[in-house]
Amino acid sequence: MDGLARLEYRGYDSAGVAVLGDGALHTEKRAGKLANLREALEKRPINGDGAGIGHTRWATHGAPNDVNAHPHVDDERRVAVVHNGIIENFATLRLELEEKGCKFVSDTDTEVTAHLLALEVAEHGDLAAAMRSVCKRLEGAFTLVATSVADPGLVVAARRNSPLVVGLGEGENFLASDVAAFIAHTREAVELGQDQVVELRADSVTVTDYDGAPVEVNEYHVDWDVSAAEKGGFDYFMLKEIVEQPRAVADTLLGRVSADGRLSLDEMRLSPADLRSVEKIVIIACGTSFHAGLIAKYAIEHWCRVPCEVEVASEFRYRDPILDQQTLVIAISQSGESMDTLMAVRYAREQRARVLAICNVNGSTIPRESDGVLYTHAGPEVGVAATKTFLTQLAACYLVGLYLAQVRGLKFGDEINTVIAQLAAMPEQVERVLGTVEPVRELARSLAGADTVLFLGRHVGYPVALEGALKLKELAYMHAEAFAAGELKHGPIALIEDGLPVVIVVPSPKGRSVLHDKVVSNIQEVRARGARTIVIAEEGDESVRPYSDVLIEIPAVPTLLQPIVSTIPMQVFACELALAKGNDVDRPRNLAKSVTVE
């Protein structure tokens, strides 16, 4: 149950457990949050002495109710299974099983695997062999974990396109979709590769492929402990993770400069010759990571003079993109398991493009399937809405842009060192912003009754505006839209009415003076039509003060780095407004931290 609590951020529509004992399979499952399951177990404890499995669900097939909650069992309750992902051919399999007399009680795709496994175990008596046989029949993305009364000391699991990790303990071993589940017990882990089956006992771990051939595993040490995955005195993980951002950005930058003063990205794996041959860069990502990619485009094109496109990963492979060996694809994913991004990575590799992953989770699938990786080292992020991982993705993108400029000989060493020094100063600037956000909280509470908030920005401020609108949608469940400020007169200005809150990210009057003046004109335009203007601008920018109903000042930093500080008020604003509405900011409705289905 403690392990499930640490994974509840991955899905919280329902939860359940199955424990073996006394020759029987004991299950309990409940719709809603894990607290409902915990209450049920307190009223009716499970007494088992064998292996156990548990699951927190993010619903795909079937409503989030008690019946559809995992684990699922066969008709005779001999096998229990939990599942992440989607089994695409479940309808065909279900029809086949019903014709054999199997009785289904749920609307899920998962239940077919329980019946299939039970039939295979009844015939062969070996749960691992049954799992290998069943997996060959399944289409889609899945992690399956199963137990059987035939062998109460055994847990068998398999993965295809969905995360699964083994924890290695002393006289105990663990399986989970994230190391956070077992980090209180061990920090030694094993990566499981694509299409592999693991047999787990208290004293052994055996990994094979779907044909039963042994597989050599890669062990690694998790470099954070259980305290990093706990709230640390904060009411919500999101509040803690917002405050952790100065340290997170510093950790992303740590150790990236060699003794001779040059950037050194040890995990890159792509040679300087590979990077010098790049003629086009394509960034693929989803959600918040997509917004980081939009900002990266500005920096990479400015520093490297290489054409750079940014694509929503879910659309990428379906539009027949033009890729070749001279294309570098940068895949940005916090979890390294986002299915849309993973499939786009695989498509890019098939087209012979080189792929660089920017990721937070060591050992996850996207970095393993990429040519190179830059880990952000942000530590665990439990809040579903990304905060510190967004800022660390930005820092990583800046490092990639500067490294490309270095190996391609486009910037002198002192130029790169100047930007590195500016980056190194950003954690302190983030700390400064966090010390001045109480007025933002007050503003958010005052707008708890608003129906809509609009966001405007230009240059790198436009992706920041997009991120601000996304945070408000995710957390406060309210309508929010972001526009490039220059597009205001091309339609969106029709939305402006009396009292409408409009958040404007203002470019630096020094770094982007022309754009700055144009955005100030935009502020005047919306204010003249009754909008309530909430302006995020550099300290000392007095030109915006007369037109700001609320002025939020941020430190003056280089233009390309401004998103690191201008994003923070957006995060605090959305979080506080959601709390004022009574929402759980760690577990926004209908969302999960890692989207492992397409």
How many structural domains compose the chain? 3
At which of 364, 397, 424 does a domain end? 424
Q: Rounded mean pLDDT of 490-514?
A: 91
pLDDT band at 59 (very low <50, low <70, confident <90, very high): confident
Quickly tell me which residue has 């003794």 as its tokens: 259
Q: Which domain holds residue 248?
A: 231-424
Q: Rounded mean pLDDT of 36-60?
A: 91
Q: Which residue has the higher pLDDT, 509 or 11?
A: 509
Neighbours of 581 (CB within 10 A): 16
Q: Residues 112, 253: one domain? A: no
Q: Which residue has the higher pLDDT, 596 or 471?
A: 471
Residue 171 is assigned to a structural domain of this protein: yes
Q: Residues 127, 192: one domain? A: yes
Q: Residues 182, 300: one domain? A: no
Look at residue 552 in the predicted model and tell me its pLDDT: 97
Look at residue 60 in the predicted model and tell me its pLDDT: 82
Q: Residues 410, 451: one domain? A: no
Look at residue 114 in the predicted model and tell me its pLDDT: 96
pLDDT band at 420 (very low <50, low <70, confident <90, very high): very high
Q: Residues 152, 267: one domain? A: no
Q: Residues 239, 211: one domain? A: no
CATH number at residue 304: 3.40.50.10490
CA distance 37 to 41: 6
Residues β-bridged to residue 190:
166, 219
Residue 586 is assigned to a structural domain of this protein: no
CA distance 187 to 195: 24
CA-based torsion, 152, 158, 163, 164: positive or negative:
positive
Least confident interval from 108-112, 219-223, 303-307, 465-469? 219-223
- For the purposes of burial, counting CB atoms within 10 Å of the CB of 545, is it exposed (0-12), middle (13-18) or buried (19 or more)? exposed
Q: Residues 49, 121: one domain? A: yes
Task: Judge contact between 346 and 242, C-beta under 8 A.
Answer: no
Q: Residues 244, 222: one domain? A: no
- What are the tens digits of pLDDT across the range 564-576? 999 999 999 999 9
Neighbours of 188 (CB within 10 A): 17
Q: Residues 564, 500: one domain? A: yes
The yes-or-no verdict on residue 353 having pLDDT over 80 is yes
Residue 587 is assigned to a structural domain of this protein: no
Residue 238 is assigned to a structural domain of this protein: yes
At which of 209, 228, 247 does a domain end? 228
The yes-or-no verdict on residue 512 having pLDDT over 90 is no
Look at residue 211 in the predicted model and tell me its pLDDT: 94
Chain-centroid distance of CA 151 in Å reads 36
Q: Residues 295, 275: one domain? A: yes
- Would residue 523 be called left, alpha or beta, if left means φ above 0 and alpha means ψ between -120 and 50 degrees? alpha
Residue 597 is assigned to a structural domain of this protein: no
- Please indicate, yes or no, whether the overall pTM of this predicted structure exceeds 0.95: no
Q: Residues 395, 516: one domain? A: no
Task: Judge contact between 237 and 586, C-beta under 8 A.
Answer: yes
Please report which helix (H) or strand (E) contains residue 344, including its range.
Answer: helix 339-350
pLDDT > 70 in the chain, percent:
99
Q: Rounded mean pLDDT of 337-364?
A: 93
Residue 397 is assigned to a structural domain of this protein: yes
CATH number at residue 17: 3.60.20.10
At which of 228, 263, 297 does a domain end? 228
CA distance 529 to 433: 31
Look at residue 225 in the predicted model and tell me its pLDDT: 75
- What are the tens digits of pLDDT across the range 243-286? 999 999 999 998 898 878 889 887 788 999 999 999 999 999 99
Q: Residues 202, 99: one domain? A: yes
Residue 595 is assigned to a structural domain of this protein: no
Residue 410 is assigned to a structural domain of this protein: yes
Round the average pLDDT of the chain to a whole number and report it. 93
